Amino acid sequence: MATKTDRIRIEYDLTFESLWHCGTGIREVLIDRTVMRDSEQYLYVPGSTFKGVLREHCEHLARFFASNGEPIASPHDAEAALLTIGSTRPDMITRIFGSQTSPGQLFFDDARHQEQSSLAQHNPEKDDYRGKGTYRGIQVMPYTQVRMNRPTRTAVPGALYTSEFGASELVFKGVIQGWLTCNAILADAHAVFEQAEQNGFMPTYSFLLLLAGLRLIERLGGNKSTGKGKCLCKITRVELNGTECGEKTWLAWLEQIDVLDKYNHHNQSSEG
């Protein structure tokens, strides 16, 4: 079976359950490590940061289900990238995220706060203090640390620094949208895919991998080893070629995620 190209849109809510840090690398006054803000001084999660974490989870899944024991090439490995030039059989990771020789067609928007109308519906108080501008101040928390010398277990002289961390319980909305080209999952793999084929709503291997990777995201940003960046990623809407895919439908697909181990065989026998 030849490959097919689907137009997809996935919306998600990202809720932080602990302090978190998506840094700018810029120092400001007494703050050595500042966090990302937009032009209105509200925090946001860069799409590139989210994409990188999601890629790592998808790589783990692909390695487990469909790599045949072969290591997944790093996107920064120039030598490995040269070996893929002219290949008509990219792996699922390349199809989703692109590579040095095969640009991806999915776009990962920055995850930002909900619009005021949405906030007012769910939390009037939050909408009120955001409107007054005080929200800009309480969305971050300064945190002073000292770098430790591990062998001696003492503080390193001159290594006292202050970081900004986003407050917990903040909710951001993000979108992944664009085009995804891959092989459709074989209908005889399971009854749920037979039903999907009958409804003209057939998922591809890469699409299934992308959904599964999203549900694995549990930490973002820096200082994860100290418990920072804990979060919950909840998929709120899935569209496939302009038609909404209900939660029960795509959850039923994910229950059969072991079909990913058939990807390599299907890919080798396909035209693309």
User: Could you list the mean pLDDT of each consecutive 10-residue stretch along the chain, which spans 272 residues?
Assistant: 86 95 86 88 93 94 74 60 61 88 89 60 46 66 83 84 89 96 87 85 93 96 89 96 93 93 69 46
| Model pLDDT, residue 206 | 95
- 159: amino acid identity, one letter: A
Strand residues in 135-254 grouped as ranges (E): 140-149, 154-166, 171-182, 231-240, 243-244
| Model pLDDT, residue 40 | 85
Q: Which two tokens stand for residue 269?
A: 């026998």
Closest by CA to 121, choosing from 168, 171, 167, is 171
What is the three-class DSSP state of 85?
Answer: coil
Phi, psi (rounded to 5 degrees) for 141:
-140, 125
Q: Which residues pair with 180 in a beta bridge?
A: 6
| Model pLDDT, residue 125 | 40
| Model pLDDT, residue 80 | 60
Whether this model's pTM surpasses 0.85: no
The secondary element (H helix, E strand) that includes residue 150 is: none
| Model pLDDT, residue 76 | 59
- Bridge pairing between strands 171-182 and 154-166: unpaired
Return the axis-axis angle of helices 247-254 and 191-198, rounded to nearest 10°. Answer: 140
